[in-house]
Amino acid sequence: MTATPGPTPTIVLVGHGMVGQRFLEALAERGLTATHRVVVLCEEPRPAYDRVALTSYFSGKTPEDLSMTDLEFIEKHSIELYVGDPALTVDREAKKVTAKSGQVYDYDILVLATGSFPFVPPVPNKDATGCFVYRTIEDLLAIEEYAKSATTGAVVGGGLLGLEAAGALKGLGLTSHIVEFAPRLMPVQVDEGGGAALLRTIEDMGLTVHTGVGTQEIVVDEAGAVTGMKLSDGSELATDLVVFSAGVRPRDQLARDCGLQVGERGGIAVDEQCRTVNDPHVFAIGECALASDGRVYGLVAPGYEQAETAAATIAADEAAFTGADLSTKLKLLGVDVASFGDAHGTTEDCLDVVYSDSRAGLYKKLVISRDGTLLGGILVGDAEAYGTLRAFTGSVPPVSPESLVLPAGAGASVQLGPSALPDEAVICSCHNVTKGTIRGAVTEHQCTTVPEVKKCTKAGTGCGSCVKVLGQLVNAELEASGVEVDKGLCGCFSQTREELYEIVLALRINKYQDLLDRHGRDTARGGDGCEICKPAVASIIASLAPTIGADGYVLDGEQAALQDTNDHFLANLQKNGSYSVVPRIPGGEITPEKLIVIGEIARDFGLYTKITGGQRIDMFGARVEQLPLIWTRLVDAGFESGHAYGKSLRTVKSCVGQTWCRYGVQDSVRMAIDLELRYRGLRSPHKLKSAVSGCQRECAEAQSKDFGVIATANGWNLYVGGNGGATPRHADLLAQDLSDAELIRLIDRFLMFYIRTADRLERTSTWLDRIPGGLDHVRDVVVEDTLGICEELETLMAAHVDHYRDEWAETINDPEKLARFVSFVNAPDTPDPVVGFVPERDQIKPDLPLLTIGHRPLEGSNQR
C-alpha cells in the first residue's frame, strides 16, 4: 500500500533585496526549491538589484543593469515572486502571512529579509517638498526629476551613502553641500587623518563640506518647498533640495507587530542559526537582524553569510553565524577608501604606521601589535593593496609594515605577491573564501580560469574587490602546478600586446587581417577577430604607421572597422547619443579671434560649452551629421582635433611661467605648446596627459601626469608615471636640470618605450609599477641606453612627428569619409529623433526619458 504524500512545505520570504536573492540561490543550491514551495513578497516595484552600486545609475547604468534577478532562475526553480506586494501582517500562531494585495499565504518557514530604512532626523519640515532619502531606485528617480528645477542641493550625512548622494547631486548639475554632525567625513570607517585626506580630495571636486554641525530646521517657503537649512552653529545654508542620508535603522516593525523579540536599539533578535529567538519557524537575515553577538550588520557580506546560514539550517545542515569581517573597500566620488580589521586601533598597546601625502590626497595607516601582528588599517586615495593587507590581518607579514604603506617607487616599498599569503587568509570576505579554497579549486577541481574559480567557489561574485587578487592567485597556482598560463592578448592571439608590437614592427605588417592570418591562434585564423584585439592592434598600427607603411588616418580602409565608437566618429559619444567636439588649444593659449569662433559655432549649433580642467573648451550636443560642419568651421579658423576621443595625447597643461608670473623661472607656456604639438595624435595603449610648471610651486600639477615637467633655475625636471584619476599616483623623477633638447629627447624615448612594452589599456602609472625593475629599469633604458634601443625609439618618434595629419581636416576633404557621418544610411538627411535636449542654466542638457517601472506580478514568474 502506497502512502499518500503530504502537502508541500512552504517557505515565505518577506523582502527581495540583495540578501533575499542570495537566500533564494542558497535554497536552490541545496535542492530546497524542489522540495518546498517558495513564495517571495517584494515591497519595491522591481525585484532584487545591486543597492551597493545604486549611485552608478547617475553615471549611465540603467535599473536593468543593476538587476540581480535572473528570470530564468526564478522560473526554473518555480519561485513565486510578487513585486509591489509587501507583507502587512504575520499571524505566528496560525502561521499565515497577509500581503498588501489581500492574498494570504500559509507558511511552514518564514524568513524576514526586510532590510533597513533611512533615518531622518526629527527636524522641523523634514517632510517638506524637496526633501528626499537615498535608498531605492525610486528615490533616485524622484531626486533626478526634482533636480531639474533646482540649483543647489544639500546632503545631511557624510557617510558612505551621503558622499555618494552628494556626488550624484553634483552630477545632476547642482551646487552640492554635505552636512555632517561628526567632526570628519565617514567617521565609522576612517580616522582623523583619513577623514582629512578625504575632505581635501572631495573639496577639490567642487563640493562644500560642513563638519561638526547638525541640521536644526529645514526652511520652507509659503508653498511648503525647501529654500534652506538652519545649522546648529547658527548659520543658514541656502538650498532648494535636501537629501537625508544620516544612517539606517533595522526594519523590524513587522516582527514587533507579531510579537517577535527585538533589540533595545532595534533589530530582530536571532540565534547563531539566524532563527528568531522566540520562534523556531521564523528566521531573520540581513540588515533587519540583530545577530547573536548583539550587532546589526549593515554590510552586504555579513548578510550573504546569514542567508547561507539560514538556508543551511533549513536543509538540516550544520551552520552558524557568529560574526563577520567588517572590512570594506569603496570608491566614493572616484576616491578609493578602505578599512579592515581594527582600523581605529582599539586593541591595547598597539602601534600605528602612517603614510600621508596631502597634495595627492593619500593616507595610509596600519595598526600593528607589539609583536608585529597586523591588526587592521585605513587606506584613502590608494587602496590597491587592500586585498593583500586584509588577508594578512591577524598575522605577522613577511616584510616590514612601513614597506606596505609606502607608494610604489618610494624606495622601501614592497609589493607582496599572492604566494606570500597563508592558506587560511580570507580572500573573498563576501563569501568567506580562503586562499586554500581557491588553490583547491585549481588543483582539485581543475579550474583554469578566474570565471571557473568564481563558479566553483563564489569568490569574486560579491562586491568584486577581491577579483584582482583572485586572478593573481589562480595564475600563481597554475604556474606552480606546471601548467602554462595563457598570457595572450585574447582568444585570437597567444602573444601579449608587447609581443604583437614587436611582430608588427619587425615584419612591417600594416593590416590587422594580415597579422591575424599569419600570427593568430589556429582557431582565429581566417576569422574576424574580437573586440579586445581589434582596437589594440589598431593602436599599434597607428603608432607605427609611418615606419611600417600604413596610412596614419584611423578611418582609412580596414582601420575604420577596428576602432572603438569614439575613434570611429572622431568625437566622444555622450549619454543621449550626441557627440562632443573638443578642438586642440595647445598650452591653453588662445587668441580672442579663436574664442569668438568657438562661441559662434556653439551658438549656431546650439551646443553646451564647458571650460575643462585641461585648459580646453568642450562643446557638447552635436548630432553625428553636424560633426563635419562643425569641424569645417573650426579647421578654417586654424583649429584641429584635440583627440579627446582617442587613446593618445590629450593635453599638455601649463601655468603662465616666467613670462607673466613673478615666481616663474622658465617659459612653461612655450614648452607646453612645443610638447603638445610634437606629440599630438600619438596613439598609445591608453590616453596620455602632461603638464609643464614654470617653477617648483607646481601650479600646473605636473606630478599627477603621465609625463610632467617642472622648471628649475638650471632647466627642467622630468617626472613620469603620474596619474590623477581613479587611482592617484605621484609621478617619479626620471631626470633633472635638463636643457630643452635633452628634455624632448628623453620624453621621446620614454613615450616610445611605453608604447612598445605596455599592455592594452595600461596607463603609464600602472605600467611603471608592473614592468620588471620599475623606475630604475626605465631610467636605465631611456637615459643610460643600456639596451641600445634609444636611437630606434627616437627614430620612431621622429617618423610620427614628420607624418602627423589632422584627422578632422582629412575627413572634411574626402567625400567618401564624410559619407559615414549620418544617423541613418538610408535617410542621410534625417536627424536621429532620439537625440533630444532640455534647457538648463541658459544652456542645454540631454533629455533622458525616465525608465518604466515594473508591475506586479513579475512577468515570467510562477503564480499560484
Q: Which residues are annotated as a binding site?
A: 655, 661, 695, 699
Distance, in Å, from the CA atom of 30 to the CA atom of 26, rounded to the nearest integer, reads 6
Q: Is the peptide bond before 187 cis (omega within 30 degrees of 0)?
A: no
Instruction: Give the closest residue to 440 by CA, choosing from 463, 318, 427, 464.
Output: 427
Helix (H) or strand (E) holding 238: strand 236-238
Q: What is the 3-state secondary structure (H, E, C) of 573-627?
A: ECCCCCEEECECCHHHCCCHHHHHHHHHHHHHHCCEEEECCCCCEEEEEECHHHH
Beta bridge partners of 116: 250
Output the known binding site for [4Fe-4S] cluster: 655, 661, 695, 699
What are the backbone angles phi and psi of residue 215, rounded to the nearest 5°?
-95, 125
Supply 688's cell numbers.
596620455
What is the side-by-side order of every strand in the sheet holding 104-106? 87-91, 96-99, 104-106
Distance, in Å, from the CA atom of 692 to the CA atom of 670, rounded to the nearest integer, reads 10
At residue 294, what is the residue type?
G
Beta bridge partners of 215: 231
Q: How far are the Cα atoms of 613, 640, 653 from residue 616, in angstroms, in the given order? A: 7, 12, 9
Contact 829, 42 (CB under 8 A): no
Residue at grid coordinates 594580415: 514
Distance, in Å, from the CA atom of 562 to the CA atom of 533, rounded to the nearest integer, reads 9
Q: What is the DSSP letter of 704?
A: G
Contact 568, 553 (CB under 8 A): no
Q: What is the DSSP letter of 319?
A: -
Supply 857's cell numbers.
506580478
Distance, in Å, from the CA atom of 176 to the CA atom of 239, rounded to the nearest integer, reads 9
Instruction: Give the closest residue to 157 by CA, choosing from 190, 184, 193, 195.
Output: 184
Instruction: Give the closest residue to 159 by CA, choosing from 137, 189, 183, 133.
Output: 189
At residue 271, what is the residue type?
D
Angle between helices 790-802 and 740-757 (to 10 degrees): 100
587: CB partners within 8 A, 6+ apart = 615, 652, 654, 669, 670, 672, 673, 676
Instruction: Give the closest residue to 340 by CA, choosing from 300, 313, 374, 292.
Output: 374
Output the known binding site for siroheme: 699
Sign, CA dihedral 564-570-572-575, equals negative
